[in-house]
Amino acid sequence: MKSLKRIGVLTGGGDCPGLNAVIRGIAKPAISYFGATVVGILDGFEGLVEGRMRELTPKDVSGIVNLGGTILGTSNKGDPFHFPVETPQGIDILDCSENAVRNYRDWNLDALIAIGGDGTMHIVDKFTDLGLNLIGVPKTIDNDLSATDVTFGYDSAVTVATEAIDRLHTTGSAHHRVMVIEVMGRYAGWIALGSGLAGGADVILIPEIPFQWDKICQHVLKRGKHGSKFSIVCVAEGAKAAEGGLVVREQDSKRTDPIRLGGIGDVVGAKITEISGLETRVTVLGHLQRGGSPTPFDRILASKYGTKALELASEGKFGHMVSLQGNEVSSVPVKEAIVKLRTVPPDSQLIRAARAVGTSFGD
């Protein structure tokens, strides 16, 4: 077992339920069993670049397993290799990784555990190649990290989206409307597929299956002819028509991925009304899916991830990411986890189940 005296932990990328449970799963045993000092780096990799941190005490990590967000703060604009710096001429994007390496060494860290999604894991891989001792913990509501069966945060997001769809059923039924709900997920359709199936959506639109406008409208009109006077359409933010591209809300050069998706729900709602003549209303869940308390599943998974990450650090297995394989948490090399995004496969059992109960994917 490797001697661990100072362990760093940070949360990178977008927030999601379960981050605090991971921090707790790392810090409590690190302090209790290793007698180590746990350094909480503030606001993700921004804090690593700018030298902002604080030492965590047992009191800091007590009673936080049920809290959403992160006690350390986070940022999706702090990639040290693509760091936005204000200059008199505006924002410059610079490589500030040397600052991060210097702070890592000045803080005398034996290991750094980074909790985040695909972008965070790419950064973990780069710093590992530079000789730093990093371990990754997969976090994203999008569930799009390969090499793990599921990421924590996904179950909580699906729960929120499903509850929203349940509520839209009653108001849609009362007013005989088509209710469109836009959910997150970026380039993967896991949230839309999971919540759409669980909530009984009549149409589910995901990035992996380009849709056709006439197919969607035919489906909702057919439902009306058979006595169903309302329909629920669950659309992922990255969904796109067969003849069309992604709907982009804005672009931000400060982010490693500058594209911010959003707006497809309004496009779908307007098009359904235009083609079918049916009254349509649109709900965009947005950040509601990332906020609030984690579900029990995510609290348990996040706790297991945290303790496993500390175990990997004690074994010196750096450059690895914790991973859920079946019912057991193990680990995989980070390089394997970032080869490609984990999108919904066309032969997914979830898709087959949804089609079997009459759900349309607009194809």
Active site residues: 142
How open is the CA angle 147-325-341, to the nearest 5 degrees? 20
- Tokens found for residue 205: 């639109």
Please give the backbone phi and psi of residue 65, each rounded to the nearest 5 degrees, phi first.
-60, -25
Question: What is the spatial distance between Cα 51 and Cα 232, in angstroms, rounded to a whole number?
Answer: 48
Q: Which residue has the tokens 């998706």?
A: 261
Please name the residues in contact with 229: beta carbons below 8 A apart, sequence gap of 6 or more: 173, 176
Please give the backbone phi and psi of residue 152, each rounded to the nearest 5 degrees, phi first.
-70, 150
- Residue 42 DSSP label: T
Least Cα distance to 66 among 289, 295, 309, 290 occurs for 295
- Residue 152 DSSP label: B
Please name the residues in contact with 189: beta carbons below 8 A apart, sequence gap of 6 or more: 204, 206, 207, 208, 209, 236, 238, 239, 343, 344
Q: Which residue has the tokens 């690593």?
A: 48
